[in-house]
Amino acid sequence: MSCELPIFPLNTVLFPGGVLPLKIFEQRYMAMTSERMRERRPFGVCLIEKGQEVGAPAQPHAVGVEARIIDWDMQQLGVLHVTTRGGSRFRILDSAVDREGLRRARVMPIADEKPLAVPAAQQGLLALLREIVAEVGNERIPEPHDYDNAVWAGYRYCEVLPIPLAARQKLLELDDAVSRLEIIQQFLQ
């Protein structure tokens, strides 16, 4: 069943369960954020396909992730700092830019991947992931940590490794947690 989401096109890829801090200062995104906080509803984060983060509305990639605001702060008037947490993936069916310059899209949720045990061939990735998580801390990768789940482990690797944005987008779009881990394993080798 499709639904409508305001879309925040960015030069980053948000993954389900991931944490994304944002600095919001453009009026269209201030209004969107205010509305979403009031209604306790998510907005969509998509990697920019064409355009820029600031200025004219950018064209997003078709697959993105719902972002829920989990914390916010406004230390300076006109600049809102929010922390978001990635929810479910979605596919944009169609979109239009409203008169405020905000892209609104009709989206179809993509079913969440079912938890899956990390295969024996990728078990070696878990020790490094544990070290990375310990180094970056719970603020960047909050608990609960689910190292035995190939879906969770793959998404966390996608967030922390220096993977080009286009490749991150492809890894987000992939519906197979084991294939995602195999690609990460090849990247690390």
What pLDDT does residue 170 have?
A: 98
* Cα-based distances in Å from 91 to 79, 106, 164: 30, 9, 21
What pLDDT does residue 78 have?
A: 85
Buried b (16+ CB within 10 A) or exposed e, 51-73: eeeeeebbebbbbbbbbebeeee
Whether omega for the bond prior to residue 144 falls within 30 degrees of 0, making it cis, is yes
Model pLDDT for residues 72-99, shown as the tens digit of each residue: 998 888 899 999 999 999 999 999 999 9
What's the pLDDT band for 108 if we cut at 50, 70, 90? Answer: very high
Q: Which residues contact 41 (CB under 8 A, 6 or more apart)?
A: none
What pLDDT does residue 74 have?
A: 86
